[in-house]
Chain A
Amino acid sequence: MHRFIANKLLVPSTCVRGLDFPGVFVPSTSFHEYRKSGYVDKTQKKTSTRESIRDGLKELKQEIKNWTAEVKDGVMMDPIMAMPLPGEVDAQWFFNQNTNFDDWVVTSDSDHNEGHSSCSFGVSQVGKGLFSGNLSTQLVKDGKVKNAGYCNIKSIRPLKSFKRDSFHDWSAYTHLVLRVRGDGRSYMINLGSAGYFDINWNDQFHFALYTRGGPHWQVSKIPFSKFFMTSKGRVQDHQQAVPLNRITSFGITAADKINGPFRLEIDYVGLERDPTHTEISAYEQYKTPYFYAGY
């Protein structure tokens, strides 16, 4: 199993996905220095080392508390034997007045002067989550940007104590369920599954969220098996099932190349188990000839 990096380079990727081939050589051209490919938040103030140590120590107390609770949970809690009940939706995120929208990262191409789209994520008049804005495919005239027009929301990475990276474990479920009210446009659902190594930082799984439009709410139930894998926005030749125990983020993108306002109200994002759904991946898993495709 290999994957295409930077169009040309072949990199064995089993080593980086499965973590079980430690000694495999990874060429240095696949090296990604920054998590966000150099996009930095310029509004963030620089803090001195002394300041960050002081701030860190302030948080120590709470982190130790979190850690204690984690250890206690690990020792005392029974393993969850029961599977989620079929037909019941377990809500992962509810959106209402009490939602902390700081847990969501809202971005659009105008953030880094790469386009003219703008968007916001907040509470709607009826007290649900509202992702809305204006999409524009107009290019900025800097001679570099070729395509423009995206607005995006994304959940922040779950953390364990001491700010360690953690994952959403959705392995007991088969379907993603969303209750939304859209405007007839199509949106994209993104499931981030960032791995440990830099080559897997940009692994994502996507599927389209079609909206009916109109005043009625809709419930979209999407099997995880239908999600397809991409890296840096390019669909990969070798498809695999969503690693449901290692989900790092959930997001929705508006980028249908249609200029104009968009509006998507979201009530909840939930999960459901359907035991009759046995499909693992909806896409062909056959092998292409050697040195033909990207693996």
Chain B
Amino acid sequence: MAVKFGLSLNRILQRALPQVHNCKLLPCLQSRHIHINSLHFKNKEPNELIVSPSMFYVPEGDRNKDTFLEAVKIYTTRPGPRRAQVEFIYAALKEMEEFGVHRDLEAYKDIIDILPKGKYIPTNMFQAEFMHYPKQQQCIIDVLEQMENNGVCPDKETDQMVLNIFGRHGAPTKKLRRMAYWMPKFKNQSPWALPQKIPNSNLEIAKLAVQRMGSVDPATEMNIFQTSELQDAIDDTWIVNGQSANQRDLLAKLKEKQTVYVEGAFTIWLRRTSINYFILRSEPVPLTEEEQKQRNEYDYDDVSELRSWMFGEENLTRKDIVVQPSVHEQEDGTILAIAITGTCSKDSLLSWIRFLEKTNPNLANLSILFATNSPLGEVAPAIESNMPSQPLNKITGGSDL
């Protein structure tokens, strides 16, 4: 019996040899005596190179979804008994980002599908309780964990696949179902909805950003200007402007020679993409001394001062009625307009102000200051004009974001 076992083991090792690199098993082959004692096979040092990473060795330019799926296909369709499945799946997990498939459900399904169906399903309660096939279960848990970290929600087919591999008591099945319960709950929870895929074009991103920032005032209108329409613009670019009728009114009310500031660039994030924007801001309207005093000294809990019309007392004096300030009038300044320009250059900002002058004639009477810093936050300075129209808008992450 022992001899038979020893021989078959020998054959297994020989067949495994082409893929085995740096493997601790090699000395055993040379010795005449083959041990089956597990102690001899225990790796003293962590050794993950049981599967050759060469399976995913693809020239850098060719790393995409197709080649990734092809690599998995080569592994699964290789003749002979399939071995080192768990190691292969771990190797695949590591390579996913390189191949740009780390947010692709189809790729995950492909590597889960490697494991055999039915084999790992526990057949009695002891197996079910004591983590039947622990390495395989942990491996698929790690796959699901990576899916979760990348925001990939499993679908019904994935559930069926994992169910067929591990059964309803398998830990991966439970994890998958927890994910299927929780992840969709937060998928569309944000009150400022964005498309699942943020577009690639800077102009489209700018439109989304202005729309999102302008959502504070439902009356915000978004316009897109082309600087080529202006005669003395140096840069030829686009400007996305967001301004509401309310903001136009506030701008019209500003007194002559009052300073308004063009500030920026600030950063806004749309999912994994960020873009820079500029604002037009005026100083906040300070409270008069009387108002300040009234606010500080007025005791809101004092009911003895309540006036009732039933006893012939005037309820409110004219002075008490104040128009509620709009959302744009903040304690740190009044926001008059928001813009994103294609080049983020000073010249494009100048063009923005010229465009604004058409709809806000009062702007001609004000002194406009292009500020290099702002109380509202950190500022990336606008670039000097004359520079080539290279977009400053920083795009981080890939195109599939």
> Is A84 interfacial (CB 8 A cutoff)?
no
| Contact between chains at A212 and B376 (CB < 8 Å) | no
A235 to chain B, nearest CB (A): 6
Chain A neighbourhood of B268, CB < 8 A? 183-184, 213-214
Interface string of A66-84 (1 = CB under 8 A from B): 0000000000000000000
| Docked pose: A218 CA to B217 CA in angstroms | 12
Chain B neighbourhood of A208, CB < 8 A? 186, 189-190
> Is A292 interfacial (CB 8 A cutoff)?
yes
B189, B215, B267: the one within 8 Å of A212 (CB) = B215
Known: A216-B335, A237-B178. A183 touches B267 (CB 8 A): yes
| Contact between chains at A212 and B212 (CB < 8 Å) | yes
> Is B29 interfacial (CB 8 A cutoff)?
no
Using a CB–CB cutoff of 8 Å, the interface residues on chain A facing chain B are 7-8, 124-126, 147, 183-186, 208, 210, 212-218, 228, 235, 237, 257-261, 263, 265, 291-293
Chain B neighbourhood of A235, CB < 8 A? 178, 182
Chain A neighbourhood of B171, CB < 8 A? 7
| Contact between chains at A215 and B215 (CB < 8 Å) | no
| Docked pose: A8 CA to B397 CA in angstroms | 37
Chain A neighbourhood of B274, CB < 8 A? 184, 260
A192 to chain B, nearest CB (A): 20
| Docked pose: A288 CA to B397 CA in angstroms | 40
Closest to A210 in B: B190
| Contact between chains at A260 and B266 (CB < 8 Å) | no
| Contact between chains at A212 and B213 (CB < 8 Å) | yes
Known: A126-B376, A185-B269, A258-B269. A214 touches B191 (CB 8 A): no
| Contact between chains at B216 and A213 (CB < 8 Å) | no
| Contact between chains at B213 and A214 (CB < 8 Å) | yes
> Is B209 interfacial (CB 8 A cutoff)?
yes
| Contact between chains at A215 and B331 (CB < 8 Å) | no
Q: A215-B376, A258-B271 are in contact. List 16 more A-B contacts (CB 8 A).
A: A8-B131, A125-B376, A184-B209, A185-B269, A210-B189, A212-B212, A212-B215, A213-B268, A214-B277, A215-B266, A258-B396, A260-B269, A260-B274, A261-B267, A261-B378, A292-B168
Chain A neighbourhood of B271, CB < 8 A? 258
Q: Give residues 139-166 of B contacting A (CB, 8 Å).
A: 149
8 A-B Cβ contacts within 8 A?
A126-B332, A212-B192, A213-B209, A213-B212, A215-B266, A215-B338, A235-B182, A258-B271
| Contact between chains at A259 and B396 (CB < 8 Å) | yes
| Contact between chains at B375 and A217 (CB < 8 Å) | no
Interface string of B77-100 (1 = CB under 8 A from A): 000000000000000000000000
> Is B285 interfacial (CB 8 A cutoff)?
no
Chain A neighbourhood of B396, CB < 8 A? 258-260
| Docked pose: A93 CA to B328 CA in angstroms | 24
| Contact between chains at A218 and B216 (CB < 8 Å) | yes
> Is B200 interfacial (CB 8 A cutoff)?
no
| Contact between chains at B213 and A215 (CB < 8 Å) | yes
Closest to A263 in B: B377
B281 to chain A, nearest CB (A): 7
> Is B36 interfacial (CB 8 A cutoff)?
no
Closest to A226 in B: B189
| Docked pose: A146 CA to B101 CA in angstroms | 19
Interface size on B, residues (CB 8 A): 45
Closest to A213 in B: B268
A259 to chain B, nearest CB (A): 7
Known: A183-B267, A183-B269. A215 touches B335 (CB 8 A): yes
| Contact between chains at A125 and B216 (CB < 8 Å) | no
Closest to B327 in A: A216
| Contact between chains at A217 and B330 (CB < 8 Å) | yes
Closest to B396 in A: A260
Closest to A137 in B: B149
Q: Give residues 14-68 of B contacting A (CB, 8 Å).
A: none
Closest to B141 in A: A7
B250 to chain A, nearest CB (A): 13
| Contact between chains at B212 and A214 (CB < 8 Å) | yes
Interface string of B276-316 (1 = CB under 8 A from A): 01010100000000000000000000000000000000000
Chain A neighbourhood of B267, CB < 8 A? 183, 261, 263
> Is B174 interfacial (CB 8 A cutoff)?
yes
B242 to chain A, nearest CB (A): 9
A183, A210, A237, A291: the one within 8 Å of B191 (CB) = A210
Chain B neighbourhood of A263, CB < 8 A? 267, 377-378
Known: A183-B269, A260-B396, A293-B174. A216 touches B213 (CB 8 A): yes
Q: Give residues 248-285 of B contacting A (CB, 8 Å).
A: 266-272, 274, 277, 279, 281
Closest to A289 in B: B168
> Is B109 interfacial (CB 8 A cutoff)?
no
| Contact between chains at A216 and B269 (CB < 8 Å) | no
Known: A183-B269, A186-B190, A259-B396. A125 touches B178 (CB 8 A): no
> Is B169 interfacial (CB 8 A cutoff)?
yes
Known: A213-B209, A216-B330. A184 touches B216 (CB 8 A): no
| Contact between chains at A258 and B272 (CB < 8 Å) | yes
| Docked pose: A213 CA to B376 CA in angstroms | 12
Known: A183-B269, A208-B186. A215 touches B279 (CB 8 A): yes
| Docked pose: A177 CA to B212 CA in angstroms | 21
| Contact between chains at B191 and A125 (CB < 8 Å) | no
Chain A neighbourhood of B376, CB < 8 A? 125-126, 215
| Contact between chains at A257 and B149 (CB < 8 Å) | yes
| Docked pose: A184 CA to B271 CA in angstroms | 8
Known: A125-B376, A215-B213. A210 touches B281 (CB 8 A): no
| Contact between chains at B269 and A184 (CB < 8 Å) | yes
B5 to chain A, nearest CB (A): 33
B379 to chain A, nearest CB (A): 11
